Amino acid sequence: MLLAAAGPSILHGDGSESHRLVGVWWLLLGLAVVVVIVVVGLVVVALVRRPGPSSLGDDWWIAAGGVALPVVVLLVVAVATVDATAHLRIRKPDELRVEVVGRRWWWDVRYPGTGVVTANEIHVPVGRPLDIGLDSDNVTHSFWLPDLAGKVDLIPGQHNDLRFTVRQAGVYQGLCAEYCGLEHAKMHFLLVAESPARFETWLAGQRAGALDATGRTVFEQSACAGCHTVRGTEAVGTKGPDLTHLASRQTLAGDTVDNTAAELRAWITDPQSLKRGALMPAVPLSRAQLDAIVAYLRGLR
């Protein structure tokens, strides 16, 4: 799978929020380097100089090194931090609203007012302010896109918001940054940032219900339909992710494996082999039924 700059990093600064945070990070690093150089330099001077009283006096060194220098450093850090914080998560006009719910152990993604529901993959337009609403229906999770923004917790009974703007197109990996149970380490997701035109095309395609395809009847009569929804069919389960446009997603099982026919077959046959602790059970199917369901799901674009 293609990820921005070969993997997530807090130093990429591809989002409006992370861009400001990276600036503060580099400032802190620079100040730390300066302090270390000054301290090490003074130690070297103390080691090589001849014994004797300093011409500046002890009080001068205490005032300069113990009071003045720390005050200057802390003031610079305080001003930079307050300035960066003041510009974070401010509501802006024309925000795109996306609602994300942390489940066990995957991400439910909805676009209010559009009827679009997906899972573990968030599509957004580059350059448009985002307002991502965050909730949890079980334990505390933490929504984190290292390249784009800081962490925000998803707390049961408490609604939180994350606001930022993606500055560069790409596919960004997100993760849960709060230990939430057995499959915490595999609770990932992707954010796909694309041009406004491509985003609108994607959104229009997602609004449509599932197309009729070979295998639909087998799917509707299987246990799969009891846990998953495929809009426009008799499958209306809500325990698992919405599968209406499953084939259009890049990954399966919370960004655990690539969305290929082989991985989909393995996931349906034995979910625990790919994601131990997942709530999806192994579904008893004959080879013919499995072939029909895999073919059906691969057609849901």
**Model confidence over 198-242: pLDDT tens digits?**
999 999 999 887 666 678 889 989 999 999 999 988 899 999 999
Please give the angle made by the CA atoms of 206, 163 and 188, to the nearest 5 degrees.
60
Query: Can you tell me the distance from the alpha carbon of 107 to that of 97, in angstroms, rounded to the nearest whole number?
Result: 16
DSSP secondary structure code for residue 66 in this structure: I
Percent of the chain with pLDDT over 70: 94
Query: Can you tell me the distance from the alpha carbon of 141 to that of 135, in angstroms, rounded to the nearest whole number?
Result: 9
Question: pLDDT band for position 2 (50/70/90)?
Answer: very low
Comparing 85 with 260, which gets the higher pLDDT?
260
Question: pLDDT band for position 289 (50/70/90)?
Answer: very high
Hey, how many other C-beta atoms are within 10 angstroms of the C-beta on 130?
24
Per-residue pLDDT averaged across 244-256, rounded? Answer: 92
Average pLDDT, the chain: 90
Tens-digit pLDDT profile for residues 126-178: 999 999 999 999 999 999 999 999 999 999 999 999 999 999 999 999 999 99
Percent of the chain with pLDDT over 90: 67
**Which residues lie closer than 8 Å to 301 by C-beta, 6 or more apart?**
205, 211, 245, 247, 248
Domains 1-195 and 216-298 share a fold: yes
Res. 272: pLDDT tops 60: yes
Query: What is the reported pLDDT for 112?
Result: 97
Query: What is the reported pLDDT for 68?
Result: 87
Distances, alpha carbon 287 to alpha carbons 53, 204, 222, 224, 269, in Å: 90, 35, 13, 15, 10
Per-residue pLDDT averaged across 51-67, rounded? Answer: 73
CB 133 within 8 A of CB 159: yes
Count of CA atoms in the C-beta half-sphere (13 A) of 38: 13
Query: What is the reported pLDDT for 42?
Result: 81
Query: What is the reported pLDDT for 4?
Result: 46
Res. 6: pLDDT tops 60: no
Dihedral of CA atoms 121, 127, 131, 135 in degrees, nearest 10, equals 20
Res. 3: pLDDT tops 50: no
Tens-digit pLDDT profile for residues 22-58: 999 999 999 999 989 988 988 888 788 777 666 666 6
Kindly state which CATH superfamily the domain 1-195 is placed in. Answer: Cupredoxins -  blue copper proteins (2.60.40.420)
CB 140 within 8 A of CB 101: no
Classify domain 216-298 at the CATH topology level.
Immunoglobulin-like (2.60.40)
Query: What is the reported pLDDT for 301?
Result: 82
Give the pair of three-digit tokens for residue 131.
């307002």
Helix (H, G, I), strand (E, B) or coil at 141: strand
Sketch the domain layout of the chain as residue ranges.
1-195, 216-298
Per-residue pLDDT averaged across 108-122, rounded? Answer: 96
